[in-house]
Amino acid sequence: MNRALLAIFLLAFTGPAVAQVEAELARAQGLIGDGRFDEAEAAFREMLDRYPALIDAHDGLATALERQGRRREALRWLLEAGQELVRAGDLDPGTRFLERAVGLDSELSSAHAALGHAYLQGQRYRAAETHLRRSVELGETSPMARLYLAAALWELGEYDRAEAVYGELLGFAGPSAAAARRSLGALHVFRGDFDKAIPLLGAALGESAGSVQVRYDLACALEGAGRVAEAIELYVKTLEDAPDFLQAHYRLARLYRAGGRAEQATRHLERFSELHAEHQARTREEGRLEARLKQAWSLLRENRVEAARKLFASLPPGPESLRGLAQAAYASGDPAAAIATLESVLAAEPERLDLRLLLDEWRVEAARR
């Protein structure tokens, strides 16, 4: 049994409940060891009905299906579960599922594309490039595979290859071409090819007029091409939409100083300095908060529930500290408080699949009490 994959799930339980889940997993995995694959499949499916977020049960079900010769079903299960985990931010188990999917069918373009995207999310750029390139070679039709491939190549410093992939995407219709224009324009700015960047970013700005980043990138390109008045106008518009855009203040201060507009230059440079100091202070505070969050989770894993609860409660309200409070409340036998707290987190982060699954499990368990 992979206890690391169980860790997040089992934080919702203590004592007998943990032992029960582990015993059920051991029994189902034992059925696989005994060659009773159909019974193992039934056991894992029954567990997933009650515990949809139990990763080892998903893993075991895929194994049971594969051992019965139902490779396509196992492959589909691994692909769907792996992609859901990656979307939810659970990269390690999600990537492992997708690696298994590629192992089951190394000629399936969508499996390589999904695995490449997972590697890209995990900043494993060479592995991402390998699988995304393979997905394209196998005929993957989704333009996202090419967008991710170009992003991986950019991160690897293979700029000519990244430009070529973005260039291919310009021939596609719809959002993928617009995304390619934005990214290729930004890459040209990064490489100092300002004259190439300007038409691409100008078109991109027309497609997404509210994009602060595109406007800023176009301002940089115009500045680099010596079109200072136009650059200043766009930096000013950038700051109208995003008054705390750090680098826009810095670049505007530099252009104003070069143009002899000392008072305006000083004002923007002072604001840049204030924002930079705030950013550094925020970074230091985030580091301290991260350390205290890790300590609180460690206490909860050690079943020191009250100490963990107090530490979570001492932290500024936020998704992770509130999730910790919810876990502590559940572990201390107060499911109503746990559910209410977790619902408040989901209200702020409705895309968190892992929390939705956990909330469903808690509601089921609370109804059984």
Q: What is the CATH number of the domain that holds 362?
A: 1.25.40.10
The domain containing residue 279 runs over which residues?
243-298
Alpha helices in 173-302 (DSSP H): 175-191, 194-207, 212-224, 228-241, 246-258, 262-301
Query: Is the pLDDT confidence value at 149 over 90?
Result: yes
**Confidence class of residue 345 from pLDDT cuts 50, 70 and 90?**
confident
Question: What is the CB neighbour count within 10 angstroms for residue 274?
Answer: 13
- One domain, residues 322 and 263: no
How many structural domains does the chain have? 2
Query: Is the pLDDT confidence value at 154 over 90?
Result: yes
CA–CA dist 186, 195 (Å, integer): 12
Query: Is the pLDDT confidence value at 296 over 60?
Result: yes
Domain boundary among 283, 298, 313: 298
- One domain, residues 366 and 311: yes
**Confidence class of residue 50 from pLDDT cuts 50, 70 and 90?**
confident
Across the range 351-358, mean pLDDT stands at 67
Query: Is the pLDDT confidence value at 238 over 60?
Result: yes
pLDDT recorded at residue 353: 60
The proportion of the chain whose per-residue pLDDT surpasses 70, expressed as a percent, equals 92
Across the range 212-217, mean pLDDT stands at 92
- Whole-structure pTM value: 0.74
**What b-and-e string marks burial along 160-176, b requiring 16 or more CB atoms within 10 Å of the CB?**
ebbbebbeebeeeeeeb
Query: Is the pLDDT confidence value at 76 over 90?
Result: yes
> What is the rounded average pLDDT for all residues in the chain?
88
Residue 33 lies in a domain: no
pLDDT recorded at residue 211: 84
pLDDT recorded at residue 4: 38
- One domain, residues 308 and 293: no
Domain boundary among 258, 273, 298: 298
Residue 256 lies in a domain: yes
pLDDT recorded at residue 3: 38
More reliable by pLDDT, 323 or 231:
231
CA–CA dist 7, 138 (Å, integer): 37
Across the range 39-53, mean pLDDT stands at 89
**Confidence class of residue 210 from pLDDT cuts 50, 70 and 90?**
low
- One domain, residues 271 and 312: no
CA–CA dist 354, 92 (Å, integer): 14
pLDDT recorded at residue 354: 62
